[in-house]
Amino acid sequence: MTAYIIVRIEVNDPEQFQKYRDAVSPNIKAFGGDYAVRGGEVEVLEGSDDGRRLVVLEFPSKDQAKTWWNSPEYAEVKALRNGAATLDAILVEGS
């Protein structure tokens, strides 16, 4: 069953965050993932938006998403994000 990692990001250091962005895309693809949403304009239909950047990653399964998230390969890439951004990330299975 398809799974999604939904991330809300606040970028604090755009220059350093760009290094993370450049490294993370091929890393995600190496683990079978892809972007469903990467930034873009958010239109609030109901409720409110906190203004953070929205990213949705799609993986073939919840296990595959967790394998990527917990991998040593991603840990190296994630280190580039330290101090550059803060985020909330959730994992959800699709239907």
Domain extent at residue 31? 3-93
Q: How is 39-69 classified by DSSP, letter by letter?
A: S-----SSS-----EEEEEEESSHHHHHHHH
pTM: 0.91
- Report which DSSP code applies to 89: E
Q: Is 51 in a helix, a strand, or coil?
A: coil
What integer pLDDT is reported at residue 40 of this predicted model? 86
- The Cα–Cα gap between 38 and 77 comes to 18
Domain count, the chain: 1
What integer pLDDT is reported at residue 89 of this predicted model? 97
What integer pLDDT is reported at residue 68 of this predicted model? 97
Q: Is 50 in a helix, a strand, or coil?
A: coil
CATH number at residue 23: 3.30.70.100
Task: Give phi and psi for 73, each to the nearest 5.
Answer: -65, -45
What integer pLDDT is reported at residue 83 of this predicted model? 92
Res 65 pLDDT > 90: yes
Q: What is the pLDDT of residues 16-64, one digit of tens each?
A: 999 999 999 999 999 999 999 998 889 999 999 999 999 999 999 999 9
What integer pLDDT is reported at residue 11 of this predicted model? 95
User: Which strands make up the sheet holding 53-59, listed edge to edge?
Assistant: 34-38, 53-59, 3-11, 85-93
Res 95 pLDDT > 90: no
